[in-house]
């Protein structure tokens, strides 16, 4: 076990405030040179990000969006990875002022899923075609402890539906763990370990998290150091936009990513960009002083795509369908679909209503509807889980994620997993447009032998084979 230095300093607030103070509205030539650099796909530094955060003119924003689209398309092509969240418990001893699960919300029905309930939820998620899930819970050591959570992970992997499908990758989003706890988690079959810092601004953090273990800013911000020093490979970070000035938060998040890259040879595997949404009995989820409007939100996504081009960017169903659709072009590479944010929500096993949710959702379409519209937009819904299962993780994944290589592995795997979805779960119309998409996109695979191999896999999947990947 490797203990990290608890004095470690990750966020230099005065440096961020200085950058924000010094950086002014950039002129045409400055914007051109930053965006030209972004197109080289090597990322941007903090001063460049600070400059872009100041742009407001419609023509400059358009230039930024086009650059982000170029970066996204060059690195990720047309793939869009899909997943579903699985809430296993909404007990929580913390009191985050924006969250419907906070301890002081006495109106919410509480529930930790028993093994048979986990099985039912998993079957309902599989029925939607998902192969990758994100498991989450509140932080309450009596009602939803880690041992129970790890048993729930085993249970999910063991479930098989009538089509013979199983969940193939579980990512987790749970409380910050200690070094000792990571020594256990590293041997459990999970993909990415995610914790959102919520806000990187220390005083705001203090205000938003008045009691409970989460009130300790340092414990939370140092979690990825503890994780990477103790055997975890892929970590995910995020900001809950709306709690503090977005310009500060974006710079701090990049600073966090740089810190991880410098110290562990690999930055975050993913960045999430949730915005605060209304939640019951959660005073900080209403009338936000730092609310981020839709155009600014697009700017944030586009800047992040230019700044950390190889880091996956995740968008949830907190956002409405129309905005999600636009953000695919700006840099989002992973989306949730058909999400439920109450334990038992997929099976609607309990009499929970929408007020029992952790927060309100804005894209309430079924997974089938999301998948169809993604295909109509020309994107490939990908259910691929190959990299993590083949050990292409951490720095190895980042090396692989160079433009040409993604087309060699990820593109074929997105097509084979889409074919599996079409054969097993899609309606006739989705199947028709999905098959047309596969025929078009297969020609984008750069080498003949991999193209042929992919065709061979696709034919086998149509005949009933499963889980064929490169
Ligand atoms: N309880 C763990 C934690 O707080 O780290 C696990 C994650 S919690 C179930 C998922 C995330 O939901 C939180 O990190 C927070 O960013 C987000 N969240 C909470 N309340 C929200 C709200 N009102 N609107 C949008 N996102 C919210
Ligand atoms: Fe609990 Fe997480 Fe909600 Fe905070 S955000 S109250 S820790 S579930």
Domain boundaries of the chain, sorted by first residue = 72-391, 405-462
DSSP of 113-178:
--HHHHHHHHHHHHHTT--EEEEEE---TTTS-HHHHHHHHHHHHH---TTS----EEEEE-SPPP
CB 56: neighbour CB atoms within 10 A?
10
Determine the atom of ligand 2 nearest the C-alpha atom of 136: 8
CB burial readout 441-466, b (16+ within 10 A) else e: beeebeeeebbebbeebbeebeeeee
Q: From ligand 1's centre to the CA of 138, what distance in Å? A: 9
CATH homologous superfamily of 72-391 equals Aldolase class I (3.20.20.70)
Determine the atom of ligand 1 nearest the C-alpha atom of 318: 25
Question: Do residues 303 and 250 make contact, with C-beta atoms less than 8 angstroms apart?
Answer: yes
SS3 state at 190: coil
Q: Is the CB of 345 under 6 A from ligand 1?
A: no
Q: From ligand 2's centre to the CA of 103, what distance in Å? A: 8
Taking 70 as the pLDDT cut, the residues of the chain under it are: 349-352, 354, 397-405
Residue from 138, 194, 274 to probe ligand 1 pocket by mutation (most atoms less than 8 Å from CB): 274
Neighbouring-strand partners of residue 252: none
Q: From ligand 2's centre to the CA of 214, what distance in Å? A: 8
Distance CA 27, CA 60 (A): 9
> 416: alpha, beta or left, given left = phi > 0 and alpha = psi -120 to 50?
alpha
Burial (CB count within 10 angstroms: exposed 0-12, middle 13-18, buried 19+), residue 5: exposed
Among positive and negative, which fits the CA dihedral 105, 289, 327, 34?
negative
Residue from 117, 66, 398 nearest 235 by CA: 398
Pocket of ligand 2 (CB under 6 A): 92, 94, 96, 99, 101-102, 138-139, 214
Q: From ligand 1's centre to the CA of 99, what distance in Å? A: 6
Please tell me the predicted confidence (pLDDT) of residue 397.
67
Tokens of 3: 């203990």
Query: Using alpha carbons only, what angle is made at residue 53 by residues 48 and 55, rounded to the nearest 5 degrees?
Result: 105
Say which ligand is closest to the CA of 101. 2
Please tell me the predicted confidence (pLDDT) of residue 386.
86
Tell me the pairing of strands 193-194 and 270-272.
Answer: unpaired
Among positive and negative, which fits the CA dihedral 349, 350, 355, 359?
negative
Q: From ligand 1's centre to the CA of 220, what distance in Å? A: 13
Distance CA 434, CA 92 (A): 42
Q: Is the CB of 273 under 6 A from ligand 1?
A: no
Please tell me the predicted confidence (pLDDT) of residue 338.
96
Question: Do residues 115 and 122 make contact, with C-beta atoms less than 8 angstroms apart?
Answer: no
Q: Is the CB of 196 under 6 A from ligand 1?
A: yes
DSSP strands (E only) in 291-448:
312-315, 334-336, 380-382
Distance CA 176, CA 337 (A): 26
Question: Do residues 470 and 409 make contact, with C-beta atoms less than 8 angstroms apart?
Answer: yes
Ligand 1: residue whose CA is nearest its atom 18: 99
Residue from 214, 228, 215, 267 nearest 43 by CA: 267
Q: Which residue has the tokens 């994944």?
A: 397
Distance CA 64, CA 306 (A): 9
Distance CA 284, CA 198 (A): 12
Determine the atom of ligand 2 nearest the C-alpha atom of 137: 8
Please tell me the predicted confidence (pLDDT) of residue 351.
67
Q: Which residue has the tokens 């930024």?
A: 64
Residue from 85, 92, 112 to probe ligand 2 pocket by mutation (most atoms less than 8 Å from CB): 92
Distance CA 322, CA 51 (A): 28
Please tell me the predicted confidence (pLDDT) of residue 395.
73
Question: Do residues 112 and 88 make contact, with C-beta atoms less than 8 angstroms apart?
Answer: yes
Determine the atom of ligand 1 nearest the C-alpha atom of 278: 23
Please tell me the predicted confidence (pLDDT) of residue 358.
83
Distance CA 384, CA 366 (A): 20
Determine the atom of ligand 2 nearest the C-alpha atom of 102: 6
Distance CA 459, CA 438 (A): 12
Please give the backbone phi and psi of residue 79, each rounded to the nearest 5 degrees, phi first: -80, 145
Question: Do residues 248 and 20 make contact, with C-beta atoms less than 8 angstroms apart?
Answer: yes
- H-helix or E-strand spanning residue 381: strand 380-382
Q: Within 13 Å, how many C-alpha atoms sit on residue 146's CB side?
A: 14
Please tell me the predicted confidence (pLDDT) of residue 357.
80
Question: Do residues 280 and 355 make contact, with C-beta atoms less than 8 angstroms apart?
Answer: yes
Say which ligand is closest to the CA of 215. 2
């Amino acid at each position: 076990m490797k203990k990290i230095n608890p004095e470690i300093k990750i966020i230099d607030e005065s440096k961020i405030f200085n950058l924000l103070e010094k950086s002014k509205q950039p002129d045409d030539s400055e914007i051109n040179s930053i965006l030209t650099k972004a197109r080289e796909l090597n990322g941007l530094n903090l001063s460049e990000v600070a400059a872009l955060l100041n742009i407001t003119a419609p023509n400059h924003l358009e230039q930024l969006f086009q650059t982000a689209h170029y970066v996204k398309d060059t690195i990720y092509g047309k793939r869009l990875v899909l997943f579903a969240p699985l809430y296993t418990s909404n007990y929580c001893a913390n009191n985050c002022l924006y969250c419907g699960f906070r301890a002081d919300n006495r109106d919410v029905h509480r529930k930790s899923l028993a093994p048979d309930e986990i099985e039912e939820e998993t079957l309902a998620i599989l029925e939607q075609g998902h192969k990758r899930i994100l498991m989450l819970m509140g932080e309450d050591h009596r009602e939803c402890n880690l041992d129970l959570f790890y048993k729930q992970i085993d249970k999910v992997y063991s479930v098989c539906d009538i089509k013979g499908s199983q969940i193939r990758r579980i990512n987790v989003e749970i409380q910050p763990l200690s070094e000792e706890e990571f020594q256990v988690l590293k041997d459990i079959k999970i993909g990415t370990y995610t914790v959102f810092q919520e806000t990187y601004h220390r005083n705001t953090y203090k205000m938003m998290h008045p009691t409970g273990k989460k009130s300790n800013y340092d414990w939370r911000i140092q979690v990825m150091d503890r994780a990477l020093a103790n055997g975890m490979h892929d970590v995910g970070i995020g900001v809950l936009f709306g709690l503090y000035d977005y310009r500060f938060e974006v710079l701090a998040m990049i600073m966090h990513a740089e810190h991880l890259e410098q110290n562990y040879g690999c930055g975050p595997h993913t960045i999430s960009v949730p915005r605060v949404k209304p939640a019951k009995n959660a005073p900080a989820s209403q009338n936000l002083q730092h609310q981020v409007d839709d155009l600014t939100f697009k700017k944030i996504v586009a800047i992040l795509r230019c700044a950390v081009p190889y880091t996956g960017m995740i968008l949830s169903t907190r956002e409405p369908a129309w905005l999600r659709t636009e953000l695919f072009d700006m840099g989002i590479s992973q989306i949730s679909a058909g999400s439920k944010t109450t334990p038992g929500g997929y099976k609607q096993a309990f009499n929970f209503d929408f007020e029992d949710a952790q927060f309100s959702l804005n894209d309430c379409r079924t997974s089938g509807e999301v998948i169809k519209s993604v295909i109509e937009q020309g994107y490939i819904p990908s259910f691929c889980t190959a990299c993590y299962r083949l050990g292409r993780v951490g720095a190895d994944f980042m090396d692989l994620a160079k433009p040409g290589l993604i087309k060699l592995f990820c593109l074929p795997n997105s097509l084979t997993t889409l074919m599996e979805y079409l054969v097993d779960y899609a309606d006739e119309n989705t199947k028709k447009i999905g098959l047309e998409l596969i025929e078009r996109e297969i020609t984008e695979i750069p080498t003949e032998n991999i193209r042929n191999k992919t065709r061979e896999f696709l034919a086998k999947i149509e005949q009933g084979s499963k889980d064929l990947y490169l």
